Amino acid sequence: MGVSERKGRGLVANLRVLIADEDLDSRVSMKRAVARAELDLVGETGYGTEAVSLALEARPDVIFVAVEEPAARPLDTADGLANALPDTPIIIYSSAGDAESVRRGMIFGARDYLVKPVESSRIRDAIGVALNQEERRQMRRAGQLSAVHGRGSVITVAGAKGGIGKSVVSTNLAVALRQETGRSVVIIDADTQFGDVATMLDLLPDVTVGDLVKQRGDVDRSMVRQFVTTHAATGVDVLAASEEEDAWDGCSLDDVKRLIDLYAQVYDFVIVDTAGAMDAFVRACIETSTLSLVVSSGDVSAVRDTAAAVRRLDKWGVHPDRVRFVLNAGSHDQGINADEMAEAIGREVFWTVPHDRAVIDSVQVGQPLVLRGGKAKAAQSLTMLARRIGGKSGASDTQSTSEPFWRRVLPARGPAMRGTGDDDTGLEPVVETVDRGR
């Protein structure tokens, strides 16, 4: 695959860190934590002009500043560093964890605030999140991402393996979102290997992702509809996968993000179906997404791979609130259940789609299960999932029109929802509030 990862930015490892801390004991423990987090220390310094000169010379990716009482000097240093290197995230660490101290740190330019003792895992998380946000900020400034408003919700459906039901979830979610909310929906078939969204919807596309990628430099938001095929029965649009294996070649990860973002400027919901991998390409999709659903089947091997995917998402700095885990019982009704999966992956299982022969039939005939109505358990579950994610039409009555309900930030993690379809009360849309990164 010809997707090239941006140099250096991609991984938390090998990131260059500077520490400004005048207390030598505290500095030594911070250095240890930085080493355990496998980051490169490129400089250590006290406060004041010395810190700023060293930062300008060393050009770190991230700067840690210790702030203890009396706080004036360290805060001045943070402020000076933020002015000198406005694109470099500053993270404060301190033994004070009260709201006022944190607030003060933020006012003086910090992107994050860690309370001592600072653990290496927290350092990696904080850096991942800070760099992600910085990257988005820079892309926005360069006009590559749309502003906070005027952007639909992007939902990536990912998973560590093939054959676990990602495309079943993507297509049914798209159709159900369309039916439940009446909003515009597009599916981007971003399976770089074998995309089968078009087949699952019984479409024979004339245009594919390959055509879009060829013209990517010239494409703007007014053109994105030229590359889709409409599913007549529902009005869901599909950017179909190409049969050519090199369809995405030459597309940088920034291009991928930009193309997805263009669709999000035109459609209320953009569903991105991906290949069974957690690679740089899928990462790019996840990073532009409002929410990602990580699907697993109940196979031991799939669950184990999902646990590895959780660790990878953490390493990438994807905020846990942007990810939900879906157990698709798939073709194995004897597999691992939701509680066991939650335990194995260390995350809540947000939704369970039951095993259902009707899914297999629906794939065979190219008609999404949620369209076929009837009593199929999986259809009810998938419809409920769409409601939970997008809300139901009419549910927006209480919402102001200037800010549609799916454009706000994710709520705090609630109790696990088990989407068996029995319970359709009290569903709050999940995508209602999404912090699009600052």
- Write out the residues near Mg ion by the rule CB under 5 A: 166-167
Considering only residues 277, 363, 385, 434, which one is a binding residue for ligand ADP as defined by CB under 6 A? 363
Under the criterion CB under 6 A, does residue 167 sit at the interface with ligand ADP? Answer: yes
Q: Which ranges in 14-98 belong to alpha helices (H)?
A: 24-36, 49-58, 72-84
For Mg ion, the closer CB: 27 or 166:
166
Across 136-262, where does the E strand assignment appear? 153-158, 185-190, 229-231, 236-239
CB nearer ligand ADP, residue 132 or residue 362 = 362
Q: Please identify which residue in the block is written with the tokens 């300008």.
A: 56
Shortest reach from residue 191's CB to ligand ADP, in Å:
7
Nearest approach in angstroms of CB 233 to ligand ADP is: 19
Among 360, 395, 416, 427, binds ligand ADP (CB under 6 A): 360
Look up residue 350 and give its DSSP letter.
E
**DSSP H stretches of helix in 288-349:** 300-315, 338-345
Contact partner at residue 353 from Mg ion, ligand ADP, none, CB < 5 to 8 Å by partner kind: ligand ADP
Identify which range of 54-62, 235-243, 335-343, 349-357 contacts ligand ADP by CB under 6 A: 349-357
CB 334 within 8 A of CB 308: no
Site for ligand ADP, residues 127 to 166, rule: CB under 6 A: 159, 162-166
Q: Select from 26, 156, 328, 352 the one that contacts ligand ADP (CB under 6 A).
A: 328
377 sits near ligand ADP (criterion: CB under 6 A): no
390 binds, among Mg ion, ligand ADP, none (CB under 5 to 8 A by kind): none
Place of tokens 């509809």: 225
Cα–Cα distance for residue pair 286/281, rounded to 1 Å: 9
Strand segments (E) across 224-268: 229-231, 236-239
* CB distance 168 to 187 below 8 Å: no
Q: Quick check: 276 binds ligand ADP (CB under 6 A)? A: yes
Give whichever of 88 and 242 is closer to Mg ion, judged by the CB atom. Answer: 242
Q: What are phi and psi of 245, to 5 degrees?
A: -75, -20
Q: Which stretch binds ligand ADP (CB under 6 A): 59-67, 209-217, 348-356, 421-429?
A: 348-356
- By a kind-dependent CB cut-off of 5 to 8 A, residue 276 interacts, out of ligand ADP, Mg ion, none, with ligand ADP
> In this chain, which of 54, 145, 168, 256 binds ligand ADP, going by CB under 6 A?
168
Q: Which residue matches tokens 């301190």?
A: 94
Least separation in angstroms between CB 201 and Mg ion = 13
Exposed, middle or buried by CB within 10 Å (0-12, 13-18, 19+), for 31?
middle
- Site stretch for ligand ADP (CB under 6 A), options 123-131, 182-190, 350-358, 425-433: 350-358
- Which one among 331, 367, 420, 433 touches ligand ADP, defined by CB under 6 A? 331
What is the b/e burial string over 157-189, where b = at least 16 CB atoms within 10 angstroms of the residue's CB? bbbbbeebbbbbbbbbbbbbbbbbbebbbbbbb
Angle of CA points 198, 200, 202, to nearest 5°: 65
Nearer to ligand ADP, 81 or 241 (CB): 241
- 126 closest CA partner among 116, 137, 114: 114
Shortest distance in whole angstroms from residue 5 CB to ligand ADP: 24
Q: Which residues contact residue 100 at a Cβ distance below 8 angstroms, ignoring those fewer than 6 apart?
A: none
Cis peptide bond prior to 117, omega within 30° of 0 = yes
What's the closest the beta carbon of residue 208 comes to ligand ADP, in angstroms? Answer: 18
For position 356 contacting ligand ADP by CB under 6 A, the verdict is yes
Task: Examine residue 345 and tell whether it contacts ligand ADP (CB under 6 A).
Answer: no
Q: Which does 359 bind (CB under 5 to 8 A by kind): Mg ion, ligand ADP, none?
A: ligand ADP
How many other CB atoms are found less than 10 A from the CB of residue 340? 15
Report if residue 97 touches ligand ADP, rule: CB under 6 A: no
Instruction: Tell me which residues touch ligand ADP (CB under 6 A).
Output: 159, 162-168, 276, 328-331, 353, 355-356, 359-360, 363, 378
